[in-house]
Amino acid sequence: MSSIKCIGILTSGGDAPGMNAAIRAVTRSAIYNGMEVKGIYRGYKGLITGEIVEFKTQNVSNIIQRGGTILKTARCMEFKTPEGRKQAYDNLLKEKIDALVTIGGDGTLSGARIFAQEFNVPVVGLPGTIDNDLFGTDVTIGYDTALNTIMECVDKIRDTASSHERLFFIEVMGRDAGFLALNGALASGAEAAIIPEISVEKDQLSEMIEQGLRKSKNSSIVLVAESEVTGGAIGVAERVKKEYPHFDVRVTILGHLQRGGSPSAQDRIMATRMGAAAIDALMEDQRNVMIGIQNEQIVYVPFSKAIRNEKPINRDLLNVLRITSI
Ligand code: ADP
């Protein structure tokens, strides 16, 4: 029997569709296994201010299909200080919370790791980010939904792009990772993707224009990952205007609509599996691990690995995109 009697759950950092499915699964799986559950609002901020509420099974009814997070999320600078974290720990003791489940991205897991080490609290993390940029899991919660949203948007832009014979640069999220741009391009039949992973190696824009954009094509759509390295869609379009002025260029920035919407079946199922696995992990006395899925199997990934390692992009896909866009 595990010594854990009460768990706290929070969502932190950028929200992602499927977080609610994860909250539901963690809550119900914990209650099923005889634990109490406390919902912590606004991420680490709520842990510091004590915005903590007991969760019963009905608190998570009718949320699996909702985007965003019912627990709200926040960015909290105070949690980056030892004083802030001490206050958070005092609240854990006050609320008699024995272990934490945190759902979020890289930053959320970094905070979880420091907190777990400082106060010897068992913490399990779930990868919740649309960017898919966490090492140790094939996909993250929210990524599939965001990818589908991008695909639907690009389909719509294609209609107008081909009517006017224009070159469109569509900016998608993924500050340091090109998963959304590359797979979004494959899914929507875009002509190319400009991603940060490749930017340091070569000039993707000039290569694309020299090799890829045929005059016989009605329209061209290029997905650009928002990034200082790529210059984003605006930066790339500015270059085209200067260097290749014969193109009729337009820019669309998809922005926050990529975060919203009802989670896809894949995100709901994955978040549910991961949420249940978080409670299994705590009962097995695991701590400081992120739950991942690799080749359909649940895995426990030490925080140190998930945070420090870069998740590589599948470079074969770049070639597939190049071949299929001729
Ligand atoms: P994400 O989890 O989506 O990557 P952030 O990077 O904003 O989002 O991180 C979410 C929160 O996690 C931060 O607002 C902060 O409270 C906490 N956090 C991030 N990095 C650290 C760190 N190095 N030490 C302590 N807390 C951190």
pLDDT value, residue 213:
66
Both tokens assigned to 196: 């940060």
Start-to-end CA distance of the chain, whole Å, equals 60
For residues 129 and 267, state if they share a domain. yes
My answer on whether 137 and 273 are in the same domain is: yes
Residue 319, domain member (yes or no): no
Query: What pLDDT does 200 receive?
Result: 75
Pocket test residue of 11, 12, 106, 115 for ligand 1, highest count of atoms within 8 A of CB: 12
> Which CATH number does the domain housing residue 95 bear?
3.40.50.450
Is the beta carbon of 13 within 6 A of some atom in ligand 1? yes
> Does residue 67 line the site of ligand 1, with CB under 6 A?
no
Q: How far is CA 111 from CA 76, 82, 88, 153, in A?
A: 10, 11, 12, 34
Bridge partners (DSSP) listed for residue 250: 168
Domain range for 183: 144-259
Q: What is the pLDDT along the chain (326 residues), one digit of tens a residue?
A: 578 999 999 999 999 999 999 999 999 999 999 999 999 999 999 999 999 999 999 999 999 999 999 999 999 999 999 999 999 999 999 999 999 999 999 999 999 999 999 999 999 999 999 999 999 999 999 999 999 999 999 999 998 887 777 889 999 999 789 999 999 999 999 999 999 998 877 888 888 888 766 555 667 899 999 999 889 999 999 999 999 898 889 999 999 999 999 999 999 999 999 999 999 999 999 999 999 999 999 999 999 999 988 899 999 999 999 889 88
Q: Where are the beta strands (DSSP E) in the chain?
A: 6-11, 36-40, 52-55, 99-104, 123-127, 167-172, 192-194, 220-225, 249-253, 289-294, 297-302
- Tokens 């992120």 correspond to 290
Q: Is 28 in the same domain as 17?
A: yes
Please state the domain count of the chain.
2
**267 an active-site residue?**
no
* Distance of CA 183 from the midpoint of ligand 1 (Å): 27
Which residue's CA is the closest to the ligand 1 atom numbered 15?
76
Q: CB within 8 A of 155, min separation 6: which ones?
A: 188
- Does 288 sit in the ligand 1 pocket, CB within 6 Å? no
* Catalytic position from the list 131, 133, 144, 267: 131
Considering the domain architecture, whether residues 192 and 250 belong to the same structural domain is answered as yes
Q: Are residues 251 and 152 in the same domain?
A: yes
Q: What does residue 137 show for φ and ψ, rounded to 5 degrees?
A: -135, 140
* pLDDT given at position 216: 53
